[in-house]
């Protein structure tokens, strides 16, 4: 066990933490494979209690004004600021990312809560032009009700905060299930809200066997909306469960983001920028640049610079000073990285750097660059979620766009060019909900993120993300005089 990691993990139900007497999941440090703590898993009785608490919490919370809710949310954000250093250390222990990245994630979570709290005061309806003097017409926005939310392990705090903050700002209560791999950092998030004075039952946090928890929560008549961030296959299953109950969903699903680099850019600068962003969080990012298409005139120079940048990345324990890339989060991702490289090489790919596990302890994998990659290789067709990069040449803009759009995903896309005309063409042609032109700006509190094709349904972030937790009620009122 690690002294810096909390040993009192539990389930938050109706304002109280429940521990012991349950089956457990052993939380593991991905850098050492050593156990960190035992996490209690919810029973059916726990889930029923959480649902009952969320129903009660909704009646209390939705009756409060948006200004009252915002004050409590801002207080929670302040507590997170005060606790940021200790929470970031816990996040690195259970997730693996470098400490500086964990601190950055906490900053983004805090910003998300603060921005959403303020935006909750602006959930305006509209007054319509009356059809007669005796009639008034308007729309008002009201919270949808208790929400079931599911957050992943790659950015556990900010993604959980995005769901919880939007739900709370809208006036909804929540039952949230973060990932069992990264529970303590999310528990710290929930603790900040409870310590800030958010009433019991408004936020409930459970852990458990994923299929059992999702089936139980979504089937309940208490839950009025489902929010999920994760893989496409799991998203399909949850959509099916919600569809059977005719419940609205927000789904941020997988991505396989293309990067198109044209021959009118500074090759050294752009290649270095691309490498830095690709290997962030060991490539375990939904918006990660995954497929690089580089104009044939600069292809060799780009690959050389990219490889050099990849080789300079310091791989190691996220708590060690100087580490730029930590381990993969779990053994599943390590095996997936090995399988992507093996499949690509079997189809004729060439390893320019990396390609294998680092050491024998911890889930470390070398920053890897592949060239001569066959179009049928799995790395070009499946979301990799690992630090493996295929780089391919292209000759024409039309060819690059066709290849970029040639997968079932449509979450994000990136392009680098000095041509405004070409940039405008790419904005209209690339099939992605998030598009960066000469930029790798990560998701922000005030910006909506939503995928096309199989990459999602609806939006998170921005006013659009808040609106997903509201329903619009039309009101017509006639005078009887």
Q: Kindly list the catalytic residues.
A: 252, 286
Q: Can you list the alpha helix ranges (DSSP code H) found in 96-182?
A: 99-119, 156-170
- Please give the Cα distance from 161 to 165 (Å, whole number): 6
Distances (CA, A) of 341 to 377, 386, 432: 9, 11, 26
302 phi/psi in degrees, rounded to 5: -65, -45
Counting Cα atoms < 13 Å in the Cβ hemisphere of 109 gives 33
- 400 contacts 394 by C-beta, under 8 angstroms: yes
- Please give the Cα distance from 470 to 66 (Å, whole number): 13
Percentage helix, strand, coil for the chain under 3-state DSSP, each rounded to 5: 40, 20, 35
Q: Single out the residue of 431, 396, 394, 397 nearest to residue 411, CA to CA.
A: 431
- 232 contacts 270 by C-beta, under 8 angstroms: no
Token pair, residue 372, equals: 């001569």
Token pair, residue 363, equals: 């889930």
- Please give the Cα distance from 22 to 41 (Å, whole number): 6
Residue that has been written with the tokens 């992507």 in this structure? 340
Sign of the CA dihedral 415, 420, 422, 428? positive
Q: Single out the residue of 208, 242, 250, 274 nearest to residue 44, CA to CA.
A: 208
Sign of the CA dihedral 456, 457, 462, 465? negative
β-bridge mates for residue 413, sequence order: 435
- Please give the Cα distance from 283 to 460 (Å, whole number): 21
């Amino acid at each position: 066990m690690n002294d810096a990691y909390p040993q009192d993990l539990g389930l938050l139900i109706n304002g109280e933490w429940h521990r012991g007497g349950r089956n457990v999941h052993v939380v593991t440090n991905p850098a050492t494979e050593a156990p960190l703590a035992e996490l209690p898993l919810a029973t059916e009785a726990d889930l029923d209690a959480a649902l009952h608490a969320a129903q009660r919490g909704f009646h209390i919370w939705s009756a409060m004004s948006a200004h009252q809710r915002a004050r409590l949310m801002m207080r929670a954000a302040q507590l997170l600021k005060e606790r940021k250093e200790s929470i970031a250390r816990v996040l690195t222990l259970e997730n693996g990312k470098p400490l500086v990245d964990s601190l950055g994630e906490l900053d983004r979570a805090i910003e998300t809560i603060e921005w959403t709290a303020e935006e909750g005061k602006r959930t305006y309806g509209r007054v319509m032009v009356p059809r007669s003097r005796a009639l008034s017409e308007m729309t008002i926005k009201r919270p949808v009700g208790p929400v079931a939310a599911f957050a992943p392990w790659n950015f556990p705090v900010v993604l959980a905060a995005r769901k919880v903050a939007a739900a709370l700002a809208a006036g909804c209560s929540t039952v949230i299930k973060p990932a069992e791999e990264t529970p303590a950092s999310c528990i710290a998030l929930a603790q900040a809200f409870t310590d800030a004075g958010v009433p019991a039952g408004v936020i409930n946090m459970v852990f458990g066997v994923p299929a059992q928890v999702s089936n139980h929560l979504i089937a309940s008549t208490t839950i009025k909306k489902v929010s999920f961030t994760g893989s496409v296959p799991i998203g399909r299953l949850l959509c099916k469960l919600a569809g059977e109950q005719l419940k609205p969903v927000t789904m941020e699903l997988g991505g396989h983001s293309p990067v198109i680099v044209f021959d009118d850019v500074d090759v050294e600068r752009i290649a270095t920028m691309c490498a830095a962003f690709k290997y962030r969080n060991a490539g375990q990012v939904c918006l990660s640049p995954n497929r690089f298409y580089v104009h044939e005139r600069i292809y060799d120079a780009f690959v050389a610079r990219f490889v050099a940048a990849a080789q300079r990345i310091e791989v190691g324990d996220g708590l060690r000073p100087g580490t730029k890339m930590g381990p993969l989060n779990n053994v599943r991702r390590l095996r997936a990285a090995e399988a992507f490289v093996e499949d690509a090489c079997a189809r004729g790919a060439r390893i320019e750097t990396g390609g294998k596990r680092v050491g024998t302890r911890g889930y470390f994998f070398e920053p890897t660059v592949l060239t001569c990659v066959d179009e049928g290789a799995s790395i070009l067709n499946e979301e990799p979620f690992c630090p493996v990069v295929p780089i391919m040449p292209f000759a024409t803009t039309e060819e690059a766009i066709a290849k970029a759009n040639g997968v079932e995903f449509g979450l994000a896309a990136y392009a680098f060019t000095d041509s405004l005309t070409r940039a405008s063409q790419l904005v209209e042609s690339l099939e992605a909900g998030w598009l960066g032109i000469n930029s790798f700006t990560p998701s922000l509190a005030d910006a909506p993120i939503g995928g096309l094709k199989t990459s999602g349904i609806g939006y998170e972030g921005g006013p659009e993300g808040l609106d997903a937790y509201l329903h619009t009620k039309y009101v017509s009122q006639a005078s009887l005089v």
